[in-house]
Amino acid sequence: MTGRGSAGAPGTGQPGLSDEPSVPYLDLRAQYRSIRDEVAPAVARVLESGQFVLGPEVEAFEREFAAWCGSRDAVAVNSGTSALHLALLACGVGPGDEVITVPFTFVATVAAIEYAGARPVLVDVDPGCGTMSPEALERAITPRTKAIVPVHLFGQPADMAPILDVARRHGVRVIEDAAQAHGAEYRGRRCGAMGDIGCFSFYPGKNLGACGEGGALVTGDPAIAARVRLLRSWGEERRYEHLHKGFNYRMDAIQGAILRVKLRHLDGWTDARRERAGRYGRVLTGTAASPLREAPDRRHVFHIYAVRVPHRDAWRAHLAAHGVQTGVHYPIGVHEQPAYRDLGYRHGDFPASEALADEVLSLPIFPELTDAQMDRVAGLFRAGLPSRDRVGETAGAASR
Ligand SMILES: *Cc1c(COP(=O)(O)O)cnc(C)c1O
């Protein structure tokens, strides 16, 4: 049967398409199968312990993750969004403050700024890399600016040297949104450890993913770490003694135990992602799909492998009809989202972000993706985009 996500071609009714190999966008089951024997005892340990929230597994994960990031402290929370929210609060961000970030990001980056009561001020991105433009940042600084949130988009670090320089000159904090950038490096320094605080997500599809929700902050400032520890658990220093108005943002022990197992594999998985990105770069050469720029002073970890392609939506449908799942990160900038109309921005305010939103396409990338699957994706691009009424008739030829 040619159901959605199967090997077949939904809606085309083409016989023969169903035995083409399918290329899923992501295959979390393949990853699980490769570490099942390590995950099972880790989960059993938590179940036997009876301690299901925070506790020794989460504390051990915090130590291991901080060291892996090259930072002093890590504080584990229940999502990347919670990490951003607490990071902003720990930097003293509140009503009346402005926080500068980009429109070309996942909505959580901007949402967290509003959770903290501050006003999100958006600046455009570099058209090549898709990360915050340091020049646009400089122009947006006002006396009310309290913090800057650069996003390490798709796993590539933002241009941190000029961003940190602007922050230092104006006395504002830098909170890195490293939700997509575990282990990414900028001039040899790991994402999360460059600003005042780095925020990570362990949503299942991220490069380091829990079996559920999870997140963490890393910081070199022990006072910030101590404050965030209080805030994630009701501002409680001793039981039922609440020093601050806090939140229930604690990490589950099962997630901590599973993340410890996965962290041991992450460097290998990152190498595998980078190898696959290298192969895509080679096999896509000369096709309509041009990869986003990888800056030479940065180690991209390819959470997302994004290409720019004209007629993106037609390509996406064509690839889907041939069993290749893709994503679009992101089709609409936050400034044009219906929910964020009240920020007062309009179409045309951020030309680089808007051009990217129109043309980006995310190709399947994960450590278990095979060469044959990648060649299949590239082969479709090389064959070209048939005009819409010729999709059916060229499908057989495109599948060799
Ligand atoms: C995933 C993501 C977040 C939010 O993380 P959650 O764990 O889903 O709350 C924030 N920013 C970016 C850039 C992300 O990709």
pLDDT digits (tens, 9 = 90+) for 220-268: 999 999 999 999 999 998 999 999 999 999 999 999 999 999 999 999 9
**What pLDDT, on a 0 to 100 scale, did the predictor assign at position 386?**
86
| Centroid of ligand 1 to alpha carbon of 118 (angstroms) | 19
pTM: 0.92
Tally of CB atoms within 10 A around 325: 17
Tally of CB atoms within 10 A around 117: 13
> Which atom of ligand 1 approaches the CA of 79 most closely?
7
Distance between terminal CA atoms of the chain?
Answer: 22
Query: Is the alpha carbon torsion for 152, 207, 201, 108 positive or negative?
Result: positive
Q: How far apart are CA 257 and CA 57, in angstroms?
A: 5
pLDDT in tens, 143-172: 999 999 999 999 999 999 999 999 999 999
Angle ∠(356,358,362) on CA atoms, nearest 5: 70
* 33-51 core/surface letters (b: 16 or more CB in 10 A; e: else): eeeeeebeebeeebeeeee
Mean pLDDT across the chain = 93
Q: Report the nearest-CA residue for atom 7 of ligand 1.
A: 80
Domains of the chain: 31-260 (3.40.640.10), 263-393 (3.90.1150.10)
Q: Looking up tokens 């602007």, which residue turns up?
A: 166
Report residue 400's pLDDT band, with 50, 70 and 90 as the boundaries.
very low
**What pLDDT, on a 0 to 100 scale, did the predictor assign at position 17?**
52
Mutate to test the pocket of ligand 1, among 79, 104, 106 (most ligand atoms within 8 A of CB): 106
Q: How far apart are CA 192 and CA 194, in angstroms?
A: 6
CA 349 to chain centroid, in Å, comes to 24
Q: How far apart are CA 33 and CA 56, in angstroms?
A: 26
| Centroid of ligand 1 to alpha carbon of 203 (angstroms) | 7
CA 361 to chain centroid, in Å, comes to 15
Tally the residues of the chain: 400
| Centroid of ligand 1 to alpha carbon of 317 (angstroms) | 26
Element holding 216 (H helix, E strand): strand 215-219
Q: Looking up tokens 């057989």, which residue turns up?
A: 396
